[in-house]
Amino acid sequence: MESPQSHPPGFATSVRALLNDPAVADMVRLVAGSESLDRIIDHPRIQKSGLVLVGHMVGLVPTRVQVLGETELSYLESLDSAERAERCAAFFERALSLVLVSRGVEPPAELVDAARAQQTPLVIAEPRSSRSIQIIHAVLDRLLAPTETRHGVLIDIHGIGTLLVGPSGIGKSECALFLLDRGHRLVADDQVTLRRTPDGNLIGRPPPLLRHHLELRGVGILNVRDLFGATSVRDQKVVQLVIELQPVGAGEPIDRLGLDDQTMAILGVDLPHLSIPVQPGRNMAVLLEVAARNQLLKRAGHHAARAFVDRIERSLGTSSGDLAPPKVPSVTSGESE
């Protein structure tokens, strides 16, 4: 039996949600416990229950999916009926959330009777154990992933998932429209649902009701797919850059050189973060395109600002420690660009 593994606390799903997932629904058949499908699953990994069947209950986590494969079923079948019933009853008395029997094997009658006695969901999966476990893990990773919803716009710019945030009315949706007109792809407008994957990526997608829609003040709700075609939208995208749109004169200093990379933490993931002032006359679509292109260069190892400073230092014969840090004035409404 596997030992418990660490997982993000506070996230849980139900047996019903797991079994209703298309990937799981296509491979399992419920044989007992239909009245208890609201039991909680709070761990993204299954638990093999072989040692429990021989009476070793240490380490059993009831809220993990318990899997009985060919080895466990062979052991049960080696017992006489009375002992098999006793072992199955002791197993199901642990208030288990869900028990899965793999390879499409019909479980012993004693196992089904014990599940029904405790009203514990018992399912039969057609694939072999390894394939069933792989599918269960993939679905639980998604169902148990930390999530949150943020006000903003997510758009795919040159392959960089760019999350636009900022105060209401600053022009995030208008920026998205400009970018759509230049061939980029909308993921979500107004509300962005963010999910952290086990490999540390942040996936953004729209709420189902807002999918493919964009709100423009004074114009109304637009269907982007109908207006710009199927290639103008995406259902989800990895977030790789956060751009905060700020009104000019907001009081926050604006970085003029870009030597120090700033980050914003969302769901524990540190993402590159830029603050861009918004004012009349600025071509925001071009600015956002350039920001995304520059992020692509940084990911490839080319940091333009640092390379520029390095060239200055070499020409002066100094090191960065010898140079006084430049005074970087903040952008104000009266300052010329």
Task: Confirm whether 190 is a catalytic residue.
Answer: yes
Active site residue: 29, 128, 151, 311, which one? 151
Active-site choice (64, 172, 205, 212): 172
Q: Between 284-299 and 172-181, two packed helices, what is the crossing angle to 10 degrees?
A: 80
CA proximity to 153, closest of 198, 178, 189, 126: 189
Would you call 48 a catalytic residue per the annotation?
no
State the Cα–Cα distance between residues 66 and 33, nearest whole angstrom.
14
Q: Is 42 a catalytic residue?
A: no
C-alpha closest to that of 245 among 171, 178, 333, 179: 171
Q: What is the DSSP letter of 184?
A: -
Q: Is 237 a catalytic residue?
A: no
Which residue in 113, 190, 255, 261 is the catalytic one?
190
Cα 195 to Cα 85: distance, rounded to the nearest angstrom: 43
Per annotation, catalytic residue among 158, 256, 299, 311: 256
**CA-to-CA distance for 41 and 39, rounded, in angstroms?**
7
**Can you tell me the distance from the alpha carbon of 120 to that of 123, in angstroms, rounded to the nearest whole number?**
10
Active site members? 151, 172, 190, 256
